[in-house]
Amino acid sequence: MKNGKSQNSRSEISLDERALRYLEKSGATTVEELYTGLRIGAPLLTKAEVTDIVWLLAAQDKINLQDAPPKSLVDFLRTWQENWWFYASLGISFATILVIYFTPPELPFLALRWALGSAFVLFIPGYVTLQGLYPRDRTIDSAERIALSVPVSLVLVMLVGLLLNYTPEGIRLTPILISLTILTVGLAAMALTRRYTSRTS
């Protein structure tokens, strides 16, 4: 019984070493590719065993695990935990328009107007701009993004106001809302595309 256990232990250690050598030789790879590579010398190996080996090597800090890159922009959009900012930005933008035009100007709707309007003007444009300028999360951290969003938003809003000043519509509520919404949606779409490209490159 002891001999059997020691033989199994030696074969497992050997398989771990083979997996590590394969990864070092081939560079970044997927579990599927590792499974195919290891099956050449061990045809009875299962995917579950390879997955266990990968988790073991990761627990020993011998390899780094990363999510597989999305296959398409649609797949990338489905990762809610990574793209929550995109949906939140669009949601706040459209909710601001609905609240301003379809709710009475009295409490508690007035407080909601102020809250959504402040986020829509002072935060959202700058935040989506920074998401596009720095698509990789490790470039700047979340605190820096939040801190820089307000001044960047102010600059963008002032530029929109300056441009509207030279149009027949002028600086009025409806032109400002429409212009900022178009700007926010455009910047958010650009940022989403850049983040998707950075994940697949």
Instruction: Give the tens place of pLDDT for each residue, 91-143.
Output: 999 999 999 999 888 888 899 999 999 999 999 999 999 999 988 766 788 88
pLDDT at 31: 75
pLDDT at 11: 46
* pLDDT digit string, tens, across residues 33-56: 777 877 777 777 788 887 887 877
28 and 110 fall within a common domain? no
pTM, to two decimals: 0.66
Domains identified in the chain, total number: 2
33 and 80 fall within a common domain? no
pLDDT at 191: 93
129 and 42 fall within a common domain? no
3-state secondary structure at position 70:
coil
Residue 168 lies in a domain: yes
93 and 147 fall within a common domain? yes
Per-residue confidence at 156, pLDDT binned at 50, 70, 90?
very high
Residue 67 lies in a domain: no
54 and 29 fall within a common domain? yes
d(CA 136, CA 120): 24
Mean pLDDT score, 64-77: 73
Residue 99 lies in a domain: yes
pLDDT at 5: 42
111 and 194 fall within a common domain? yes
Percent of all residues in the chain with a pLDDT value above 90, rounded to a whole number: 40
77 and 173 fall within a common domain? yes
47 and 94 fall within a common domain? no
54 and 80 fall within a common domain? no
Which residue segment(s) compose the domain that 170 sits in? 73-200
**Taking all residues of the chain, what is their mean pLDDT, rounded to a whole number?**
83
Mean pLDDT score, 161-183: 91
25 and 100 fall within a common domain? no
User: Taking the alpha carbons of 136, 139, 142, 146 in that order, is the dihedral positive or negative?
Assistant: negative
Mean pLDDT score, 27-38: 74
DSSP letter string, the chain: -HHHHHHHHHHHHHHHHHHHHHHHHH-S--HHHHHHHHHTT-TT--HHHHHHHHHHHHHTTSS---PPPPSSHHHHHT-HHHHHHHHHHHHHHHHHHHHHHHS-SSTTHHHHHHHHHHHHHHTHHHHHHHHHHS-STTTS-HHHHHHHHHHHHHHHHHHHHHHHHTSTT-S-HHHHHHHHHHHHHHHHHHHHHHHHHHHH-
- Select from 37, 59, 81 the last residue of a domain: 59
Is 21's pLDDT higher than 70? yes
Structure tokens at 118: 């402040």
